[in-house]
Chain A
Amino acid sequence: EDYHEHCAQCSEVNWGLTDGGRFYCRTCHNVTERTREFVNSAVTLNTRIQTISKGLRKQEKNDEGWEWYVCEGFQFVLTKQAEALEVLGVCPQMKDEILCNFWRRYLQKSQQAYCNRPAGESIKVLSGCESSTDMDSEPERPSLLHLLPLSESDGDPLTDCSFGSSTGKVSESTSVCSGSVDGSLHFRKNQKDKLRMSMPMTLSFCYMALLWLRESMTLSDLLRFVVEGHIPYLNVFQCFPEKMKLYGLDLKIFCVESWPVYEEVHDKMLHLAAFLELPRFPDITDSCFLHPDMLCMKYLMEANLPDELHNWTCRVVKKIHIGEADFLTFVPENKSTRKVKYDVLAAAVIVVVLKLLFLLDDNYEWLLSDFAEERNKNNKEDGPYFEFKKWYKVIKNSLDMEQRKMDEERAKCLWRCEKPLFYSAKKKSKALKRRQIVVNLQHQFGKLSGSRQSAEKPNPSSFQLNWSEENTEGSCFHGHSLKGILQEKCGLLTAMNPDYWLCTVKLCTEKFCGHLAHYRDLDFPASYHFVLRLFSFLLRIQPSYIHEEVCAIEHKLFNKKLYKKPKYSTGQRK
């Protein structure tokens, strides 16, 4: 694909790869000596980029910049992201081996669609506009490209450009469409099943690699680091080399206008793993960070809940067998099993445990809290009993404050960077002028506000909320005891709470609506909503996802009793 030489025998430019990694001409089957360098498994991402670039540069170097392909752009992005992850403490193996291999595999699997001219197919002539509207239907997508005037699609950009032509020179009309050689091809419909690369998908790649290595980073952590700016995502093209010019349709590919969404990244990862035909991932055992026992411990700490609750989460995990390696480990080929979202799962387990112990019906938990309060007043020597009310107040304060801070940060998010973007050479001067005005105005009002210039990134940390036992205000609940709400029965500790209410009696069919359950906060007790809200904030996902997981867990937990019981079930839960 980046090889544009004419075949010595037939003068065609229609190359494929032999098993040995050599180029052969598809038309006349002449095999050359030229090999694809990246078959060499020892090559790191960086050298590969240089090789490809060198190859191109040898071919064509004009003042406009290099020819570059969209996949190269993504390669850059992935490199930068991997480097950032390394800085965050991920092992170097991730970048040098795992991600690299995944990417290579992806290129191999999808390159069939990227190649010059698949045998027998003639190049369809696409106008710039045609391809821009050829996207997945996004009627309201606020894109730079809806402003592309139709006149810019004059001429046939593709016949002049790239693959078919021998010189590979980027013509004027292509340069209007995109800086990359194949930018306009990127959105062709028939590429859909080949899993078209996108910015969110870079994160899917990263997560997949992290999962393979069983690193101590959940998907929600990863996405949070992206939003906080520790992992390149927004304006990542700033790190492209000078000569890799980016404009036109490239912007649609590489310019991000919204933050990655958990569901989307996760789903793409599942598709990707299946597409790459990856084998069963390394087992998630109980010593792994992603194991629910571990994550529950972490989240309990972050949620400022008593350590004693960990026993209960472990019990629930064990009872419904979600701690087993076979359940937790990711097997891409297995399409039927529901894939585990480790962070959501752990959060949901905690929610279920809270429901088991406190019922959370807007009544019982406050009663229990009053008893605990009484006891704590009268007994100051032994350790305090956990008071739900106190915890609620402390958490609510922090949560409201953090939420407010986060909302302000989001409102202050700057989406543009110094590198000006423009979608055609014609618009360049206008774009530059605008940028100048924007910079001037920002400067002027920045002075007025007396504010410190751009926000310093918060230090990356795994924990968002920190609670310290040294805190004399007594607002740390880790050490508090659950004695007040537990009782001993048959030598086992059980909850005093005899009741439990199910979030839903029947689960939805995921195939139809995509979810197991739906959430409307009005339908549920306020305490339940509060708890969901807490974890929703920590994981940066919608409460409904956690709710869904809670429903799934409950159905496993009460499986035997379910078809017998009415909605408000009484009965033993262990």
Chain B
Amino acid sequence: SHKHKLDFRKSKDMCLSYIQDAMLQKQWKRAAEFLTFYIESLEKDFSTEHTGPSEIIWRIGTEILCHCSHSNMKEFNSFIEQMKTLGVKRYLKVCLEHAFHLLCNGQTDEAYQSLCLAESWRFGEQTTAQDKELKLIQAYRGLLDYYNWSKQKNALLEYDKDGFEDISVEQEMHNSFRKAALSLKEIIQIPGVWDLFVQCYVDLLEFYGDHEEARQVLSEYAYNSKFPANPNAHVYLYQFLKRHGEPRKSLISVLKILHDIVPSHELMIDFHAMLQKSKKRKKRRLGLEVIFAALDYAGWKENVKAWSCLARQVKQIIISDKHLEWIKQEWNSRKDWWPAFHFSRYLAKRNWQENESLAYEKALVAGIILGKDCKYFKYVSHQGYKDQKKKFRTLKKFVNKHSPVYLRISG
């Protein structure tokens, strides 16, 4: 007979499931209605589960207020204020999410104030217990400082154009810079994914000419093994180095890592171009590998540039008659599936219809590697021939001329 003692709890659990059902079906009014009946569970907090009623009410209430058409920011803010008082252990988290919400609604100033206020909150051992949230709050506050700095900077530039000067704005700008730089630097020292923060910090450093620090920061972010593997880190470093005219060698070494992590990255084309320009055989060999690897991915199937890169390199190799084995090596692991993946008759038709340049490049590659009798080449060159396109006549001639090559490749 313990069962009947828990009717209060049972009815609140039932109420909660009605709320959840309503939310899943986007029936916000109904969810709000049931929430009103759930709210009194704050007063009898019997829950032994991890998520107590106050957290549930906070999260559900936020969702409902976001979606209910006739609620407004004022109501939302007053709701959040009450949520803050409800759970001291959650205080900073609520503040942080509130700030996000304000940002999403374009209320940057309010968000900034809220973050500043939260930053100065102290509550005995809770302050240390909520250390993570505090750091995040500082970080986002720093981000908003950057945003302010950016605005002030642009304002100054405008004045400058018009020949005006404004000392106060300039001072504010430097203030914002200092605050932003401090916070941003803090947060990116903690292992994690801080793309936005890193970019902003680097932007600040570059503006004030501290390239050395910027490079240091980006290298750390990309190469420190404590940080999670993040392709973007390498991209940022590459872009920075490129901006500052670093030699191709360092650019290549950065992109090499990117290629290892994300062979399908869009920068692979740039990488390939750089590698092709190199005098070193190894680099050009790598280039072939890179371009083949990129085209392994479905997202690249219709990338004309990529195909043209591959086509060009293949053509070069054929003409020079050197390093045919490179193609053979690359083709070896692909011969079983590339034909169906890229060079089917269906794709020939489609490519021809949609994008002649694409068809052209692909036909060249197909013709060389699969031979002039392959479906793809035959179809495309025939179409091109019919349309009397000179390009395709040249292509046909070229492939025919080098047709025995494919035997050596696929043999």
Contact = CB atoms under 8 A, between A and B. Distances in A.
Contacts of A245: none
Interface in A209-224: none
Contacts of A411: 11, 14-15, 17-18, 34, 37
- Of A411, A442, A446, most buried by chain B (CB within 10 Å of CB) is A411
B93 to A, nearest CB: 18
A434 B87 CA distance: 11
B154 interface: no
B4 A264 contact: yes
Interface string A449-468: 11100000000000000000
- Of A144, A437, A449, most buried by chain B (CB within 10 Å of CB) is A449
A490 interface: no
A416 B44 contact: yes
Interface string B32-70: 111111011011101000000000010001001100101
B85 A437 contact: yes
Contact of A258 (B4, B40, B44): B4
A412 B7 contact: no
A431 interface: yes
Contact of B11 (A140, A410, A440, A449): A410
Interface string A258-269: 110101100000
B29 interface: yes
A449 B65 CA distance: 11
A40 interface: no
A259 B17 CA distance: 20
Contacts of B25: none
Chain A: interface size category: 35 or more
A434 B64 CA distance: 22
B82 interface: yes
A414 interface: yes
A413 B30 CA distance: 15
B43 A431 contact: yes
Contacts of B35: 445, 449
Contacts of B4: 258-259, 261, 264
Chain B: interface size category: 35 or more
Interface string B5-39: 11111110011011000000000111111111101
B8 A142 contact: yes
B39 A448 contact: no
B160 interface: no
A416 B43 contact: yes
Interface in A381-438: 407-408, 410-416, 421, 431, 433-435, 437-438
B79 A415 contact: no
Contacts of A407: 14
A407 B21 CA distance: 14
A178 to B, nearest CB: 18
A86 interface: no
A442 B82 contact: no
Contact of B1 (A142, A261, A441, A445): A261
Interface in A115-173: 138-142, 144
A448 B39 CA distance: 14
A258 B8 contact: yes
Contact of B9 (A142, A431, A438): A142
Contacts of B29: 448-451
Contact of A437 (B18, B31, B82): B82
A449 to B, nearest CB: 4
Given A257-B8, A437-B42, A444-B75, A408 B85 contact: no
B407 interface: no
A441 B42 CA distance: 11
B8 A415 contact: yes
Contacts of A142: 5-6, 8-9, 44, 46
B36 A446 contact: yes
Chain A binding surface, main DSSP class? helix
B36 A442 contact: yes
A410 B65 CA distance: 25
Given A264-B4, A445-B36, A445-B61, A408 B18 contact: yes
- Of A264, A434, A440, most buried by chain B (CB within 10 Å of CB) is A434
Interface string B327-368: 000000000000000000000000000000000000000000
Given A415-B44, A448-B71, A449-B32, A140 B79 contact: no
Contacts of A264: 1, 4
Contacts of A258: 4-8, 10
Contacts of B397: none
A433 B85 CA distance: 10
B2 interface: yes
Nearest to A417: B40
B36 A415 contact: no
B30 A449 contact: yes
Nearest to B29: A449
Given A258-B4, A448-B70, A438 B34 contact: no
Contacts of A259: 4, 7
Contacts of A141: 2, 5
Contacts of B68: 448
Nearest to A420: B43
B42 A434 contact: yes
Contacts of A446: 32-33, 36
Nearest to A450: B29
Contacts of A421: 43
B86 interface: yes
Contacts of A414: 37, 40
B71 to A, nearest CB: 6
Nearest to A435: B43
A416 B2 CA distance: 21
B34 A140 contact: no
- Of A410, A413, A440, A446, most buried by chain B (CB within 10 Å of CB) is A413
A315 to B, nearest CB: 37
Nearest to A410: B11
Nearest to B85: A437
Given A258-B4, A416-B44, A445 B18 contact: no
Contacts of A451: 29, 32-33, 36
Given A437-B86, A448-B68, A257 B5 contact: yes
Nearest to B8: A257
Interface in B104-128: none
Contacts of B78: 444
A138 B5 CA distance: 9
A444 B68 CA distance: 12
A144 B43 CA distance: 10
Interface string A508-542: 00000000000000000000000000000000000
A109 B338 CA distance: 96
Contacts of B36: 441-442, 445-446, 449, 451
Given A413-B37, A444-B75, A445-B64, A140 B43 contact: no
Given A437-B86, A450-B29, A140 B8 contact: no
A412 B15 contact: yes
Contacts of A448: 28-29, 32, 64-65, 68, 70-71
A448 B61 CA distance: 11
- Of B2, B8, B71, most buried by chain A (CB within 10 Å of CB) is B8
| A-B residue pairs, 5 tightest by C-beta | A258-B7, A449-B33, A142-B46, A449-B32, A411-B15
28 contacts: A141-B5, A257-B44, A258-B6, A258-B7, A259-B4, A408-B18, A410-B14, A411-B15, A412-B34, A413-B37, A414-B40, A415-B11, A415-B44, A421-B43, A437-B86, A441-B39, A441-B57, A442-B39, A445-B61, A445-B64, A446-B32, A446-B36, A448-B29, A448-B64, A449-B31, A449-B35, A449-B36, A450-B29
Interface of B: 1-2, 4-11, 14-15, 17-18, 28-37, 39-40, 42-44, 46, 57, 61, 64-65, 68, 70-71, 75, 78-79, 82, 85-86
Given A142-B44, A431-B43, 10 more contacts: A144-B44, A257-B5, A257-B44, A258-B10, A259-B4, A414-B37, A438-B42, A441-B61, A445-B64, A448-B68
